[in-house]
A and B are shown apart, each in its own frame.
Chain A
């Protein structure tokens, strides 16, 4: 039975204190947040196993820096959802705004709708699965991890990419500087199949194309100045 926290009666600090305290004890308890009313910084900084379901849409930085906790937004999420996430699972039933999963180090960010621009910007090891489309400049300077898109990708996908791997099932409007299509090898198909299964996505790995870094910008070279 989930513990209910009603934000019509409790303020943000009270709600986060309750969640952070429960996470610290690795209680694995379930919490239900009602009336989130688009609040910012909800369920951020959780450090331990815990189930949190937010009934409604959230503002900026929901589940920021999450560790181990499983956070579900039963609505849409504002900018920077699961930013700098370390581990755990964050699920968005609706759409996600800009910078979803920015700088994330680990865990799974599962967006059932669309994600706006700069999804996965500077990601550092997180897995992001977007069931819909993603906006422009997604995976900009992405360092590590996997970004999987079942729909289409906007302009300049993977601009200035490092070692993150990008998988897109639909159309890519354009690739950013130093981002190229790469061969889908068996190990990628295997990893992608596992990731799709974890995200509950109804898609086959063979339908995707893989994109990664051409690694031409890894060392400054004056002859590449026209790239940027």
Chain B
């Protein structure tokens, strides 16, 4: 008897294996999933844009010969001592506590060799990063862990953190297993307890108050330090405008691909906007206020290549910041630790349980044995190399568009591969002159 043909087993798109595994995990534990990193879902990104390059109507610059400047100055609006960087790529804020002291030192070394700045994070300023960072931005966070006027004055700039891309509107929690004596001491809390990082500042609410807070910070630091305001990619037009109103020298805008040390997965994946969607509204706010280039815009969240850097600048940013990519350059998620990732139930490239403090690469941990795996000198060199490559790639693309400074890149140099990216970036869909959402369409 002929066998009845069988339909191939069909997996549900809605209830995929990944989704079902999370349902089973939730059912077993009764608690949501916490992880590090930024949004992992596919969102419109810089990959969806292309540079047009020079042609009959555009004149390119000679590679390896003609100069393409990459310098950037941050904090020209009010600060007596703006920050001068050799490259338009900075290191984003990441906390000591979330990261090891060696990792912070490596970030400082790499950034300094490349001619750029690095940034503290929740938990205060460590000697490792101050000592090895020629230019150090000091984050002013809601928790105020480790905050003190001496470090404020030792900083080269101050970044008031209002939000971050991975979790606009959310605070944080550094779990007890990473709270060593040193971390606890810097935060004025007992060893080994979970430490909540507040989601709101304790002594101001809203941009009117923030304006006064910034006045205080300037008065304490003799009006020398540039004041950055960091916002998550929530309402980029109004948040940028209000940051300018509050007196920012620099706006740091972090899209949803921007990483965090530890946040609920549901938060990371479902709150905020993609980086690509945030840049043009922020730039428009600056332009509407006559502040574009007067107040500098630093964009972060998913920057990986020199192409990403160049595209962010073309859309109007003055510089970018990298966090996750910098950690990868140091050695995070390196295949050489695959056997250990397997033991932790994960694999290279997917390891994101940074909050557990068991990082095989020795970066997101306070365990002395694991920390010792990261050589800060060698890791710093890798970061320097990576930053140099980002810069060279960005210059290559800028020269191809005929630009003698990377800041001369502009939206007109770009087209988009998808309608979504065209709408978000405000550039034409490839092969057309159509910019969705503009010109009545």
Contact = CB atoms under 8 A, between A and B. Distances in A.
Interface of A: 12-13, 16-17, 20, 40-41, 44-45, 47, 59-61, 64-65, 67, 79-80, 83-84, 86, 98-99, 102-103, 105, 118, 121-122, 124-125, 140-141, 143-144, 160, 162-163, 218-220, 222
Interface stretch (B67-75, B217-225, B411-419): B217-225
Given A60-B216, A61-B203, A67-B149, 9 more contacts: A12-B219, A41-B219, A45-B149, A47-B149, A98-B203, A122-B144, A124-B144, A160-B196, A162-B189
B366 interface: no
A13 B203 contact: no
Contact of B202 (A12, A40, A59, A121): A121
A162 B215 CA distance: 30
Contact of A103 (B147, B173, B175, B220): B147
Nearest to A15: B219
B353 to A, nearest CB: 15
A81 to B, nearest CB: 10
A162 B187 CA distance: 12
A176 to B, nearest CB: 14
Contacts of B196: 141, 160
B143, B194, B219 — most chain A CB neighbours (10 Å): B219
B215 A41 contact: yes
- 10 smallest A-B Cβ distances: which pairs? A45-B220, A99-B203, A41-B216, A80-B203, A124-B188, A65-B149, A218-B193, A103-B144, A102-B203, A61-B216
A161 B11 CA distance: 48
A71 to B, nearest CB: 14
B59 interface: no
A105, A124, A144 — most chain B CB neighbours (10 Å): A124
B212 interface: yes
6 contacts: A16-B219, A40-B216, A41-B219, A44-B216, A45-B220, A84-B144
A27 to B, nearest CB: 18
Contacts of A84: 144, 147-149
A84 B189 CA distance: 16
Nearest to A218: B193
Given A16-B219, A47-B149, A118-B202, A41 B212 contact: yes
A84 B187 CA distance: 13
A121 B201 CA distance: 10
Contacts of B149: 45, 47, 65, 67, 84, 86
B6 to A, nearest CB: 43
Contacts of B220: 44-45, 64-65
A12 B220 CA distance: 12
Contacts of B187: 143
Contact of B30 (A17, A141, A144, A222): A222
Contact of B189 (A40, A121, A163): A163
Contacts of A13: 219, 223
B31 interface: yes
Contacts of A12: 219
A80 B204 contact: yes
B152 interface: yes
B63 interface: no
Nearest to A143: B188
Contacts of B148: 65, 84, 86, 105
B219 A45 contact: yes
